[in-house]
Amino acid sequence: MFIETAGPATGIAPAGPAGLPANRRPKRRALSPYLYILPAVVLLLVWTYWPLGQTVNLSFTDWNLIPTKPKQYVDVQKYAKVLSLPELHQALINTGLYILAFLGISVALPLVFALLSRKVQGKARTAYQALIFVPFLITPVASSAIWRWLFAPEGGTIPAIAAALGAPMGNIFRDPDSSMTAVIVIVGWQMLGFGVLVVSAGLAGISPDYAAAASIDGASGRQITWRIIIPLLSPSLVFLSLMTILLSAQWTYPIIDLATQGGPGNSSTNIYYLLYQFGFRNFDAGLSSAAGTLFFLGFGLIALVFVELSERLSFYDN
Amino acid sequence: MAFITIAPPAQPGSADAPLSGPRKVSRPTTAPAAERGPMRSPSLRLGSVRPGSLRTVPSHILLIALALVSIFPIYWMFVTAFRPPSDALSTNPLPGPLSLENFQYVLKTIPIAGMLANTFGMALTLAVSQLLVAILASYGFARWDFVGKKALYLLFVGSWLVPFQVTMIPNYLLVSQMGLLNTITGVVIPQLCSAFAVMMLRQHLEAFPKDLLDASQMDGRSSWRTLWEVVVPNLRPALAALGIMLFISAWNEYLWPSLIMQKSDALIQVGIRGFLGAEGNNWGAIMAASSLACLPIFLIYIFLQRYVVDAFVRSGLK
């Protein structure tokens, strides 16, 4: 949209105070966008795309990450192995469950909260939002420590309350049945406020005229919510859902590493933590890379489908 | 690619803006000044209900509950940290008796002041370099049309689909070959360019008033001087918000520092992890260390709250 600037400029150039030879300018202009973009592109190629190619490359080899040991080309052996590993199945199931949990906590719940609380405005609203957002900013080492303390079997607040209510609980992080719940609670605590703020911002952008008009036409509050507000919110909701699906595994990674190490018995692991374990615990670069390549393709496919769907489903206010 | 473009509209006018599809959203910003008020509540327009009227009481209750859930764990962290170690298991919900013993213990046991300083330097370096690279690249993209523009931009959008865990082994090897393992430089280098910052800034620049650029060109400024004398000063609020966000993200980054700094505790994320593991159930000390790890972020949030919330909510990213 800025191309038009080139038009008047060439007309003015000869008389302009810059005094550059007219024939030099177009050439410089042709090069300059590339020069501005160069640093970013180089960094991206070196640290994202070249490594991506390397990962695909490594996925066909057997190598233990020791520089002096030669890589051995093993065809698709690593893919066959990784697909048959029960750890992978467990990690895939867990990742799916994490995504479902966070679709609830960072999309559905925030929608409910934002809709129910939209009548609160002004200073009070700003104050609530400021508080609700704080957990999102807590660094993972601290948030895992805080919740380990809250859940501590001895002296922890939550087991104390549970015991007072007559439902004593053990160590939530050490029990295979509850270790995932622990991770979900911690990460959900961080993401909930973020979701509420995103949905509220979306709500704030919807013109009240629609609701007013519908109300004059005799629409009930419920009809207005379901037929007008939620469709108009769909861009925000689609955005949050896509983030949740693509990033849940990344959100949970630090907490898994800090609070449960994926255990006990892989009960709380996820696909990215598995990549870490394959690569930096078992030193099997091929296995980690094969799994990584598969996850990359899988998420890429999901993202494309999602973008396509959102184009069709989103309801735009125009 | 839907990520940024669906960012919740924070401007009063944008409800009527043509949100006609993720790609071609052009926000009707007429002057960057309109960007200035992050997260102000434009939704006053929705408020046909006076604040304080009875109908808002349930909403207040809901928001208070949500705020309590968000804040209590953080409150408890400080309460435990400021208690004398002998009272660590106290269930008294009120703070006190006040004691600094836990902090003294932490300062004595680990070089936490150095860690904080190092992490601060690392986060600042990253935020500044990511901003710089992004300013250049987004200016290149927004100001000119050139051959390969779409393909090059797709590199940035596409990098979203490459999770860091998938490329971590080649990245690790590259850093290791450069001899930068266990150094802060090794943590910083792969992250010098943030594709996300480029995309965010490009959006701001697309909305930049063309007249100003034209005028600047007529005054005889080169594109380089236009960038620094016209564009950047006018984008200051947006740049500040983005910079703060990049700083916080860099501070909270866990995965990469934990891989690169395996034998060093120069950074807070890694240094404190060891301390937490070693201290077991010494919750007072653990909470003191955790609250120190969050301290800079809390300070930023207290003083620049509106920028922080605005930046994160608009972006929807960590």
Q: What percent of chain B has pLDDT over 70?
A: 82
- Taking the CA of residue B116 and the nearest CA in chain A, the distance in Å comes to 13
- CB-nearest partner of A197 from B17, B43, B309: B309
In B, minimum Cα distance to A129 occurs at B67
Nearest to A310 by CA among A235, A247, A244: A235
Hey, are the CB atoms on A137 and B301 less than 8 Å from each other? yes
In A, minimum Cα distance to B77 occurs at A146
Q: What percent of chain A has pLDDT over 90?
A: 43
What band does A27 get if pLDDT is binned at 50, 70 and 90? low
Paired strand residues for A73: A61
Report which of residues B171 and B22 the model is more confident about.
B171
* pTM, two decimal places: 0.84
What band does A29 get if pLDDT is binned at 50, 70 and 90? low
- CB-nearest partner of A118 from B3, B46, B190: B46
> Do B216 and B232 meet the contact criterion of CB atoms below 8 Å apart?
no
What residues of chain A lie within 8 A of the CB of B71, using their CB? Answer: 131, 134
pLDDT surpassing 90 at residue A202: no
What residues of chain A lie within 8 A of the CB of B301, using their CB? Answer: 134, 137
What residues of chain B lie within 8 A of the CB of A314, using their CB? Answer: 6
Hey, are the CB atoms on A243 and B3 less than 8 Å from each other? yes
pLDDT surpassing 90 at residue A5: no
CB B246: neighbour CB atoms within 10 A? 25
What band does A227 get if pLDDT is binned at 50, 70 and 90? confident
Hey, are the CB atoms on B76 and A157 less than 8 Å from each other? yes
C-alpha distance from residue B36 to each of A285, A317, B33, B236, B238 (Å):
48, 24, 5, 9, 8
Hey, are the CB atoms on A149 and B76 less than 8 Å from each other? yes
What ipTM did this prediction achieve?
0.84
pLDDT for A17 equals 41
pLDDT for B280 equals 82
In B, minimum Cα distance to A67 occurs at B173
Q: Is B54 exposed, middle or buried (0-12, 13-18, 19+ CB in 10 A)?
A: exposed
In B, minimum Cα distance to A16 occurs at B220
Report which of residues B44 and A219 the model is more confident about.
A219
Hey, are the CB atoms on B169 and A289 less than 8 Å from each other? yes
Hey, are the CB atoms on B272 and A138 less than 8 Å from each other? no
- CB-nearest partner of B2 from A146, A204, A242: A242
In A, minimum Cα distance to B24 occurs at A1
What band does A205 get if pLDDT is binned at 50, 70 and 90? confident
What residues of chain B lie within 8 A of the CB of A17, using their CB? Answer: 219-220
Output the 3-class SS for B238-259.
HHHHHHHHHHHHHHHCCHHHHH
Amino acid sitting at position A25 = R
- Segment B280-300, tens digit of pLDDT: 888 999 999 999 999 999 999
As given in the structure block, the two tokens for residue B293 are 């790890």
- Segment B131-163, tens digit of pLDDT: 999 999 999 999 888 999 999 999 998 888 898
Mean pLDDT of A263-279: 90
pLDDT for A203 equals 87
What residues of chain A lie within 8 A of the CB of B47, using their CB? Answer: 119, 121-122
Q: Using CA atoms, how far apart are residues B7 and A198, in angstroms rounded to an integer?
A: 8
The residue whose two tokens read 């992004």 is: B134
Hey, are the CB atoms on B140 and A208 less than 8 Å from each other? no
Hey, are the CB atoms on A40 and B137 less than 8 Å from each other? yes
- Taking the CA of residue A165 and the nearest CA in chain B, the distance in Å comes to 16
- Segment B92-138, tens digit of pLDDT: 788 878 889 999 999 999 999 999 999 999 999 999 999 999 999 99
